[in-house]
A and B are shown apart, each in its own frame.
Chain A
């Protein structure tokens, strides 16, 4: 709540009804002491969470250094860092990265468009809902990556078969969430709109769609990651290019250090895609 509004609320409600002034005495101590006290008392995770990562990498280093695990199985952090530098500077790397990015984003966008369209149709037209719902229920519990080998046969070894796999992995989570979002309109809101003689169109654009948007974007965030998984699985099976193909190649070559480096890149890509969708979500659902 912004401050101005809060003050006005207090003015209308009178004192005491809301947010009793809980002002602490102005601290006389310097800013760094206050910051330190704040972190220790209220937000210890700000320090402890990064510390856990440092500790983990240190343990990893110790394990590889003492020879508890053979370097072929677990490369040292330093080896992975070197491999990462090799990977990122290799001339063939951008092309492989781009293939996976392109497959993931195309797959996500196609899945998003299709799933939202199907959900809206199912929500608006009762016959379609009744016919389609059993299939949605059955298909959403099926792990759709098992379809990947079939899609490779149908759509070839190129990029299009991976896009289809990505679409099929991302589609259902969006469909199911959008359906429940569209169905989550409060009964009284619907009655209110009806009492104002709202048309079907007005009902949809002024009430149903905005109500469903938070559900849709929650699904988009999951679907972005699922689309990446779909693209990678497709590439595992067979591909000419892509991060998934790099992984299988490094695996055959027993280059654990390069595999770890590639995994780090895939992880960063996943986080970036998720962050992008989360950013869009904040822009679109601004009222939250």
Chain B
């Protein structure tokens, strides 16, 4: 499916004002040791993500999707090219960009609530207001009453929900998610995907979502960035034709437009 010029405006919800990501001709070359062979992780990545857009990066292992995410987060420097968030070049991590990993990375010595409030503590933001917000977020993901529980008392899915609350509590304009539900079983994963969509439709943050799972990518995203390996590069950017009439529902997975899109992406990946 070619990129349609008619889809620049998303139909539902208010358009977020911040959270634009621009990547121009970004390359990343790793040189593990002096004198060893350089590994070209990413070649010439250009991508614009609109404020409030949900974009997925799919591709086989080693296509550099996590590397790309870390560069947008300011955790890695590109070897060449330009990355900017809201027009400001990314040189280091910033507060308006939140990140979530495949593992929840909750600190076992903190209760659920204190884990959610970690960014607030680090930013030295006002506590009382954010405490209320954290409790609301926990309620939104179905964890009301768990604020004093310890991480080890929760299942993997519930831990990842806590991590989701933690990344949202400081209200960042961009959320980067590195296979956030990849370690969960199919059921937990589907439930979390639906919850994530609901939250995103409410809050309209820019989300960049890395996954191996093509169904998941198509179901969640406005656009799917299909990536290939050696070197990591963008093969194609696919507009998902579903739900310009958002909200998206699981019933849409049965629509021909959904399956067509999934098979189109699969084709690009040679599956």
Contact = CB atoms under 8 A, between A and B. Distances in A.
A192 B154 contact: no
A18 B155 contact: yes
A135 B92 CA distance: 36
- For chain A, the bracket of interface size reads 20 to 34
B103 A8 contact: no
A287 B155 contact: no
B14 to A, nearest CB: 27
Contact of A12 (B103, B119, B142): B142
Contact of A191 (B99, B149, B152): B99
A197 B122 contact: yes
Interface in B38-95: 70, 73-75, 92-95
B74 to A, nearest CB: 8
Given A202-B122, A206-B121, A206-B122, A195 B158 contact: no
A109 B234 CA distance: 59
A155 to B, nearest CB: 40
A8 B146 contact: yes
A189 B122 contact: no
Contacts, number: 76
Given A194-B93, A195-B97, A207-B107, A13 B155 contact: yes
Contact of B75 (A8, A191, A198, A286): A191
Contact of A195 (B93, B145, B152): B93
Contacts of B102: 188
Nearest to B106: A189
Nearest to A6: B153
A30 B95 CA distance: 63
Nearest to A203: B122
A206 B118 contact: yes
A186 B158 CA distance: 20
Contacts of B94: 197
A287 B75 contact: no
Contacts of A196: 93, 95, 98, 118-119, 122-123
A105 B108 CA distance: 31
What range describes how many residues of B lie at the interface?
Answer: 35 or more
Nearest to A11: B145
Nearest to A199: B122
A5 B122 contact: no
A191 B101 contact: yes
Interface string B145-175: 1100110111101100000000000000000
A15 to B, nearest CB: 13
Contact of B122 (A12, A198, A286): A198
Contacts of A188: 101-103, 105
Contacts of A285: 109
A9 interface: yes
A130 B270 CA distance: 48
Contact of A287 (B74, B97, B121, B150): B150
B237 interface: no
Contact of B98 (A195, A198, A207): A195
A9 B158 contact: yes
A202 B107 CA distance: 14
A195 B122 contact: no
B204 to A, nearest CB: 21
B16 interface: no
A18 B154 CA distance: 10
A210 interface: yes
A188 B69 CA distance: 13
A115 to B, nearest CB: 22
A288 B150 CA distance: 10
A186 B152 CA distance: 16
A84 to B, nearest CB: 44
Contacts of B146: 5, 8
A191 B71 CA distance: 12
Interface string A198-221: 100010001100100000000000
Contacts of A17: 155
28 contacts: A1-B152, A2-B153, A5-B149, A6-B153, A9-B154, A12-B143, A13-B155, A13-B157, A17-B155, A186-B103, A188-B102, A189-B105, A189-B107, A192-B99, A194-B75, A195-B73, A195-B97, A196-B95, A196-B119, A196-B123, A197-B92, A197-B94, A197-B122, A202-B122, A206-B107, A286-B109, A287-B108, A287-B150
Interface of A: 1-2, 5-6, 8-9, 12-13, 17-18, 186, 188-189, 191-198, 202, 206-207, 210, 285-288
